[in-house]
Amino acid sequence: MIYQRSSALFAAAQKVIPGGVNSPVRAFKAVGGDPIFVKEAKGAYLYDEDGNRLIDYINSWGPMILGHAYQPVVDAVVEKAKKGTSFGMPTEIETQIAELAVSMVPNIDKIRFVNSGTEACMSAVRLARGYTNKDKIIKFAGCYHGHSDSFLIQAGSGAVTFGSPNSPGVTKGTAQDTLLARYNDLDHVEQIIESNKDEIACIIIEPVAGNMGCIPPVKGFLQGLRALCDTHNILLIFDEVMTGFRLAKGGAQELLGVDADIVTFGKVIGGGLPVGAFAAREEIMNHLAPLGPVYQAGTLSGNPLAMAAGLAMLTELNTNPETFKSLAEKTEYLHKGIEKALKHHYVTHTINRVGSMISVHFAKDHVVDFDSAASGNNETFKKFFHGMLDNGIYIAPSAFETWFITNALTYKDLDDTIAVVEKVAATL
């Protein structure tokens, strides 16, 4: 395919926007080539500036779980926009979406809305620190919780007690308070807790990892974390920015039957507008300003436009819970088709899937943590990505991303996708 117009738009963008994008992964750096500029989208399809139709497996990185320009969401936003888009004053719709979210998700009494998943996770950690009066946090290598300082941490070689920042601009002081553990390795977490006795405020985790490709928690892992947290007076934060309102009405907590202390949201909860949220039991949430001492605020937080989109989205999911089953079935169908095609052409791979989260790792062994995810063949992924794209299938331009399945996909779309995988696999 020729992307003349996209390439021209990208050249113009690069002059005034760093790297031509407002979020780095959009820039195709991991796969080579210029990013595609999108003009509009409807349902499962993107229409780019060069006049191509693409089947979309990113869906704005998750929010468009019911498809692009989903009518009830569009209508709600248009209606609200006519009445003013932000007041910095309380509005009824904030309570309506809060009531609905609290009724759908286990273990939460109160929820606070922010503007992104990053903000939600950053605020959740501050709340956990304020609530427990402890400073350190445990996060897992390969889990993404947004781009705030505490989370941009990688372990130095063999260092478990001190993380080292993996972005300039993150101070050593901040890095020291973030302890890094291996995903799916309970013993490692236990060791870290032992060597930081009474210093750890919270463990934050993606209950199903989605930012190193899809990696499910092994049996007993989350339950083990829950028990460790209970024993050591540590709060367990489930970052459900990706899994929330995707894996089930109540997210990963419901699907996997494990209780978190604080839950964070983003993506689906905003229906495609900038929304994040964090939620917990009343006793924890009451530590937030203005009730408690932990400060958190936002000029545009809970604005009516964002709340209207989110409320319309959650209402749809709440009234049609079979959506989650339908999504999981479509994803399983895709899984089987891709598996068959890759096997047919002897392409080394491992497919991980939970509900409507799926990823194809071009790795030999089971992918259970960051190291095994990183063992995947990136050259094969690049070829696969461009092969798919040339044939009208848009997957994330990075081997470390989950495919985001939308319920707008038809079985015909899935068959078309599988046929392209078959064709591309022959070239790998």
Ligand X SMILES: *Cc1c(COP(=O)(O)O)cnc(C)c1O
Q: Which residues are catalytic?
A: 144, 239, 267
- Mark the segment that binds ligand X (CB under 6 A) among 154-162, 218-226, 239-247, 326-334: 239-247
217 binds ligand X (CB under 6 A): no
- How remote is the C-alpha of 125 from its chain's centroid? 17
Measured from the CB atom, the residue of 98 and 241 that comes closer to ligand X is: 241
Measured from the CB atom, the residue of 208 and 420 that comes closer to ligand X is: 208
CA distance 255 to 354: 10
Count residues binding ligand X (CB under 6 A). 15
* Contacts for 173 with CB less than 8 Å, ≥ 6 apart: none
Measured from the CB atom, the residue of 206 and 369 that comes closer to ligand X is: 206
Chain residues 270-289 in contact with ligand X, contact rule CB under 6 A = 276
The residues facing 252 across adjacent strands are: none
The residues facing 154 across adjacent strands are: 164
Measured from the CB atom, the residue of 396 and 424 that comes closer to ligand X is: 396
- Mark the segment that binds ligand X (CB under 6 A) among 123-131, 141-149, 300-308, 418-426: 141-149
CA distance 420 to 337: 11
- Mark the segment that binds ligand X (CB under 6 A) among 29-37, 97-105, 112-120, 156-164: 112-120
**Closest listed residue to residue 209, CA positions, set 185, 177, 176, 234:** 185
266 binds ligand X (CB under 6 A): yes
| Shortest spacing between CB 426 and ligand X, in angstroms | 33
DSSP 141-177: TT----SSGGGSEEEPTT-SS-EEESSTTS-HHHHHT
| Shortest spacing between CB 169 and ligand X, in angstroms | 17
144 binds ligand X (CB under 6 A): yes
370 binds ligand X (CB under 6 A): no
What is each CA distance from 393 to 132, 149, 213, 388, 417, in whole angstroms?
47, 35, 18, 5, 7
- Mark the segment that binds ligand X (CB under 6 A) among 24-32, 216-224, 235-243, 385-393: 235-243
State which of residues 43, 67, 117, 271 lies at the interface with ligand X (CB under 6 A). Answer: 117
Chain residues 151-180 in contact with ligand X, contact rule CB under 6 A = none
Question: Do residues 341 and 330 make contact, with C-beta atoms less than 8 angstroms apart?
Answer: no
State which of residues 242, 256, 312, 334 lies at the interface with ligand X (CB under 6 A). Answer: 242
Query: Per-residue b/e over 292-331, b at no fewer than 16 CB within 10 Å?
Result: eebebebeebbbbbbbbbbbbbbbbbeeeeebbeebbebb
Q: Which residue is nearest to ligand X (CB)?
A: 117
Q: Helices marked H in 348-407 — which ranges?
A: 370-374, 378-390
What is each CA distance from 22 to 33, 73, 265, 270, in whole angstroms?
17, 24, 21, 19
State which of residues 239, 261, 316, 413 lies at the interface with ligand X (CB under 6 A). Answer: 239
64 binds ligand X (CB under 6 A): no
| Shortest spacing between CB 428 and ligand X, in angstroms | 28
- Mark the segment that binds ligand X (CB under 6 A) among 90-98, 238-246, 251-259, 327-335: 238-246
- Mark the segment that binds ligand X (CB under 6 A) among 106-114, 206-214, 291-299, 302-310: 206-214
| Shortest spacing between CB 217 and ligand X, in angstroms | 14
Pair of tokens at residue 408: 């707008």
Task: Decide: helix, strand or coil at residue 106.
Answer: coil
State which of residues 110, 145, 188, 349 lies at the interface with ligand X (CB under 6 A). Answer: 145
State which of residues 116, 178, 184, 377 lies at the interface with ligand X (CB under 6 A). Answer: 116
State which H helix or E strand residue 278 sits in.
Answer: strand 276-280
State which of residues 104, 204, 241, 317 lies at the interface with ligand X (CB under 6 A). Answer: 241
Task: Decide: helix, strand or coil at residue 42.
Answer: strand
CA distance 413 to 408: 9
State which of residues 48, 49, 177, 206 lies at the interface with ligand X (CB under 6 A). Answer: 206
Cis peptide before 290 (omega within 30 of 0): yes
**Closest listed residue to residue 111, CA positions, set 242, 253, 301, 258:** 301
- Kindly list the residues in this chain that would bind ligand X in the complex (CB under 6 A): 116-118, 121, 144-146, 206, 210-211, 239, 241-242, 266, 276
